[in-house]
Amino acid sequence: MVEILRWVAALSLLIPLVVHAYLGSLSRFIADDYCAAAMVRIHGVWGATGQLYQTWSGRFSANFLDSFVTFLGPQAASLLPGLFLLAWLSFLVWVAYRLFSKTALRGSLLVAVAFSTLLLVSVLQLTPQVNQSLYWGAGMRSVVSPLVVSAAHCGVILCIWHGLCSNRMAVLWVALCGVMAFLAGGFSETFAALQTTIFVIALVFGWIAFPKESRHTVNRVFGTGVLASLAALAVTVAAPGNFFRQQHFPPPPDVVDLVVITLFSFAGFFETLLVSRLNLLNLGLVFGIALFAGAGILWNQRSEKGSRRPDGLSLLWIPAVLLVLLLACFAPAAYGMSGAPPKRTAIIPVFLLVLGVLFWGFQLGAFAYYKWRSERWLSARMTVLAEAGALFVLAVFALGISIQLLQQRSVFVEYATWWDQSDEIIRTASLVGKVYVTVPTPPTSWSGLEEFGPDPAYWTNNCVGNYYDIRVSTEAP
């Protein structure tokens, strides 16, 4: 019965992800999506990728994915949020399973599913503009894509580290790691800087903490990651399109101003995140679940066989490393924009923060377990009651988030209905040879982005017109 309750609580966290996928299916082309789609119509996928690199952005991976998805059309764009969530969750479960299978936890698949779903649900809940981070195509492809690729990358690294990959194919597996790091860095300057910092720290830590016989693997895996990340940054920075995009922002600051802007952006991130009591409760829940799991109370499946006491120093270096990595997320925007990155980009540091809270909470619980296990400070009955209470809170948490998300459904449905009707009107007008068409005024959008409007010369109208090959405007409000 307890085992069934554990699985029910873990799987209940899938409900908010299903709701996110449903709302994502109601998304359509918006704002920059039309610009990429228009370039694809004129230049093709590869030509549009090159044009974006030459005239707007050095994010070569995002440019290609934007071009490819818009080539497939709005229907494919509507499926992507759900597909990305499925891929992201699958890779996270894979990584978590590989990690827990090497610990003293039995039934590691259950723990892997629970931790991965809790991580993903919390990240989406805490992200300030999740509508632009997940549902909007151009936003999702630049900030969620690298997180998905990096999760798969971590899985490959763990396979290499645990000796699951053939030694004969070792060079190819390491090369695959390099390719994945290079592609992930090409989606976003923010992620490229973060990824480079992670690999540098991992390389240094590997040399300090691991025995000599393991350093060859450390050099190959993390050294390749550093080189690939730096190569991605170099290709991104060298893009001619950066010059045109930079015209919209102040000149890059000097070193002192760069540090000041980064620190202010970092502080603003936490101010936005922690101003909400619900966000604080969410982070508290994540920490509490991780603490209970590490202490053997939640998913009480600890085995003495193969158990290893955590190093107390990890309770100090985890927050320190997390601080450095979070700061790395804000340096690129401080340099390129002289300010904070767009709020949709916050999903990257939010993911890092939630992951750090999970890891630190689990380590703290495990440390407490090994320090006081001989005292039996919690009876078997109390352990069962504590676990049941934690599982109940998890289920209520998942249900509450799902209800909150579904309250937005009417806005998404209304916008999707308007978009589909407008798309049909525009395509019909284009087929009969008209050169200008007017569509109804758009309803309130869930995206918070600039829509095309009554001015046919506005930039969004130009992109829409180039996509459909007909001048377009909306009725005056």
CA atoms within 13 A on the CB side of 386: 17
Q: pLDDT for 307-350, tens place per residue?
A: 556 677 778 888 999 999 999 999 998 888 888 888 999 999 99
Q: pLDDT for 381-429, tens place per residue?
A: 667 777 777 888 888 899 999 999 999 999 999 999 999 999 999 999 9
Beta-strand runs (E) in 203-288: none
Between 72 and 312, residue with greater pLDDT: 72
Domain presence at residue 296:
yes
Region 41-50: what's the mean pLDDT? 93
- Please state, rounded to an integer, the average pLDDT across all residues of the chain: 87
Complete DSSP assignment for 53-120: HHHT---HHHHHHHHHHHHH-HHHHHHHHHHHHHHHHHHHHHHHHHHHTTSSBSSHHHHHHHHHHHHH
Q: Percent of the chain beyond pLDDT 70?
A: 90
Domain presence at residue 268:
yes
Asked if residue 223 has pLDDT above 50, the reply is: yes
The alpha carbon dihedral of 55, 61, 65, 66 has a sign of negative
Do residues 343 and 447 touch, judged by C-beta distance below 8 A? no
Q: How far apart are CA 16 and CA 121, in angstroms?
A: 7
Q: pLDDT for 99-116, tens place per residue?
A: 877 665 555 788 888 899
Q: Are residues 351 and 421 in the same domain?
A: no
Q: Is 302 helix (H, G, I), strand (E, B) or coil?
A: strand
Asked if residue 164 has pLDDT above 70, the reply is: no
Asked if residue 375 has pLDDT above 60, the reply is: no
CA–chain centroid gap for 203, Å, is 24
In sequence order, the 6+-apart residues with CB closer than 8 A to the CB of 311 are none
Q: Are residues 62 and 197 in the same domain?
A: no
Closest by CA to 124, choosing from 188, 81, 181, 91, is 81
Q: How far apart are CA 21 and CA 19, in angstroms?
A: 5
Q: Give the pLDDT score at 200.
A: 93
Q: Are residues 140 and 162 in the same domain?
A: yes
CA–chain centroid gap for 313, Å, is 29
Q: Are residues 35 and 164 in the same domain?
A: no
Q: Are residues 301 and 449 in the same domain?
A: no
| CA distance between the termini of the chain | 59
Q: How far apart are CA 235 and CA 247, in angstroms?
A: 20
The alpha carbon dihedral of 429, 431, 433, 435 has a sign of positive
Between 216 and 261, residue with greater pLDDT: 261
Q: Are residues 114 and 172 in the same domain?
A: yes
Taking CA atoms, 78 is separated from 16, 26, 36, 281, 314, in Å, by 18, 6, 16, 32, 42
Q: Are residues 116 and 240 in the same domain?
A: yes
Specify the pTM.
0.92
Domain presence at residue 175:
yes
Domain presence at residue 26:
no
Count of CB atoms within 10 A of residue 343's CB?
17
Q: Give the pLDDT score at 424.
A: 94
Burial string for 13-37 (b: 16+ CB within 10 Å, else e) reads bbbbbebbbebbbbbbbbbbbbbbb
Count of CB atoms within 10 A of residue 142's CB?
28
User: Number of folded domains in the chain?
Assistant: 3
Burial of 339 (0-12, 13-18, 19+ CB in 10 A): middle
Taking CA atoms, 251 is separated from 235, 369, 423, in Å, by 20, 53, 40
Domain presence at residue 143:
yes
- The residue segments making up the domain with residue 13 are 2-21+80-407
Q: Are residues 240 and 178 in the same domain?
A: yes
Q: Are residues 205 and 282 in the same domain?
A: yes
Q: Is 436 helix (H, G, I), strand (E, B) or coil?
A: strand
Q: Are residues 41 and 13 in the same domain?
A: no
Q: pLDDT for 457-468, tens place per residue?
A: 899 999 999 999
Region 40-67: what's the mean pLDDT? 92
